[in-house]
């Protein structure tokens, strides 16, 4: 207590970021954590694309480092961005009567390092699901080929494991199968990890979400009214073909990092055998498992084409904008000059030379074509 008889407000806890691939159960985990009396995790925002766009203006060759040309350091920009986005999400939490905010967007697995930098007090909860289950769901929902869906699982979870293993006690990993199969045990461990008390509402998210007035259907076509259902964990096995099994073999080493058998729904083992915390791992635990993957590639696997969450009309408009930009770019004199000279180099026919000089006509310092050309 100060001399004026007032007390200082305690520092609010840092945000909780949920990360994981599409179709991994991240929306279910969001709804569960959002049902805790202290935590508000609203619908997907994708805010990291906006944050990245502030730091490096997209679609402009001078977009990188623009603020440094004005005398601002990256740390100063990070501080401004932290205050800005914290204010947006914290107000949402306060409107829900809660003290802590969280966020979940699947493609944020590519931004974990930057999120950890901008929000140094944040904790991360990663969720992973068997590659076969994710691939089956992506094929059904987004019309991926099974092989492309497997590649997506590998590239996304490689990024998450690589970044999470460097965050020590700021990163905690949950398996979807454990969450739906032994929810209370998993969530009790998770609450200890992120510094929140246990509350039974975590197991009643379908009732809490209804009471909060949440939409019936949210991102990923997830029903907010459905209770946790353990039978969902293995449903995917009936939809896998022998050809699909061949694709699943490509997940081998990485699947084992997460305790999966690539070709079956069974789990290898608790993620931390012999530990009191058997159902989640932190970044240090993950780093040890990561180091045991002997055939791990030194660079992240290539990412297949990602799903763009946009309507056909929006996609058509974007394509038209790109086509117009290409037409404008090729119309520039420098591009036309280069194209003309390339034709000369390839053939040096009379028509090519005349076309090249025609392009250059009017450019200062250009001589007339040699006689006889």
Query: For 306-356, how does the pLDDT look when each residue is reduced to its tens digit (9 = 90+)?
Result: 556 666 777 787 788 778 777 776 676 666 666 666 666 666 566 656 666
- What the block records as the tokens of 228 is 């946790």
CATH 3.40.50.620 fits 16-307, yes or no: no
Output the pTM of the full model: 0.82
Identify the segments of the chain with pLDDT beneath 50.
1-2, 268, 274-276, 364-366, 373
Task: List the chain domain ranges.
Answer: 16-307, 313-360
- Using alpha carbons only, how large is the chain's radius of gyration in Å? 26
Would you state the pLDDT for residue 261? 85
Of residues 40, 28, 287, the one with CA closest to residue 177: 28
Apex 37 CA angle, 81 and 94, nearest 5: 40
Closest CA to 123 of 107, 90, 91, 101: 101
- CA-CA distances (angstroms) from residue 125 to 105, 170, 189, 190, 201? 12, 9, 12, 9, 19
pLDDT tens-place string over residues 185-221: 999 999 999 999 999 999 999 999 999 999 999 998 9
- Residue indicated by tokens 């003309």: 340
Tokens of 77: 């920009």
Residue 353 has a pLDDT of 61
Contact yes or no for 259/271 (Cβ under 8 A): yes
Q: Structure tokens of 49?
A: 């694309």
Cα–Cα distance between 114 and 151 in angstroms, integer?
Answer: 24
Structure tokens at 227: 């209770």
**Can you give the pLDDT at residue 12?**
79
Question: How many angstroms separate the Cα of 138 from the Cα of each of 107, 147, 272?
Answer: 14, 11, 29
Backbone angles phi, psi at 71, to 5 degrees: 90, 15
Q: What DSSP line would sit under 184-233, residue for residue?
A: HHHHHHHHHHHT----GGGG-HHHHHHHHT--SEEGGGEETTPPP-GGGG
CA 13 to chain centre: 23
Q: Under 8 Å CB-to-CB from 164, ≥6 apart: which residues?
A: 112, 124, 126, 171, 173, 283, 286
The two most distant CA atoms of the chain are separated, in Å, by: 98
């Amino acid at each position: 207590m100060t001399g004026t008889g007032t007390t200082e407000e305690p520092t609010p806890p840092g945000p909780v970021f949920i990360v994981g691939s599409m179709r991994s159960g991240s929306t279910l985990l969001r709804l569960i954590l959002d049902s805790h009396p202290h935590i508000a995790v609203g619908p997907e925002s994708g805010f990291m694309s906006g944050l990245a766009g502030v730091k490096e203006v997209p679609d402009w060759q001078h977009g990188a480092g623009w603020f440094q040309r004005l005398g601002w350091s990256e740390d100063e920009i990070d501080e401004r961005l932290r205050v800005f986005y914290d204010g947006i999400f914290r107000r949402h939490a306060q409107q829900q009567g809660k003290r802590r905010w969280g966020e979940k967007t699947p493609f944020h697995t590519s931004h974990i390092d930057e999120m950890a930098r901008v929000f140094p007090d944040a904790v991360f909860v990663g969720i992973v699901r068997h590659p076969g289950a994710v691939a089956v769901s992506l094929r059904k929902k987004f019309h991926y080929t099974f092989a492309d869906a497997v590649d997506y699982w590998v590239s996304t979870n490689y990024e998450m494991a690589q970044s999470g293993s460097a965050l020590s006690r700021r990163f905690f990993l949950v398996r979807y199968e454990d969450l739906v199969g032994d929810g209370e045990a998993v969530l009790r461990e998770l609450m200890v990890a992120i510094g929140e008390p246990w509350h039974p509402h975590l197991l009643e998210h379908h009732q809490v979400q209804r009471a909060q007035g949440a939409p019936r259907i949210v991102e990923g076509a997830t029903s907010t009214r459905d209770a946790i259902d353990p039978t969902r964990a293995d449903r995917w096995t009936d939809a896998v073909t022998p050809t699909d099994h061949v694709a699943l073999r490509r997940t081998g080493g990485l699947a084992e990092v997460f305790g999966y058998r690539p070709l079956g729904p069974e789990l290898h083992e608790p993620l931390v055998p012999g530990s009191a915390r058997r159902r989640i791992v932190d970044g240090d635990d993950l780093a040890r498992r990561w180091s045991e993957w002997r055939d791990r590639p030194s660079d992240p696997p290539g990412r297949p084409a990602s799903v763009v969450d946009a309507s056909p009309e929006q996609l058509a408009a974007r394509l038209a904008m790109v086509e117009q930009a290409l037409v404008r770019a090729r119309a520039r004199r420098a591009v036309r000059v280069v194209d003309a000279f390339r034709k000369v180099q390839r053939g040096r026919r009379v028509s090519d030379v005349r076309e090249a000089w025609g392009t250059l006509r009017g450019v200062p310092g250009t001589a007339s074509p040699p006689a006889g050309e």
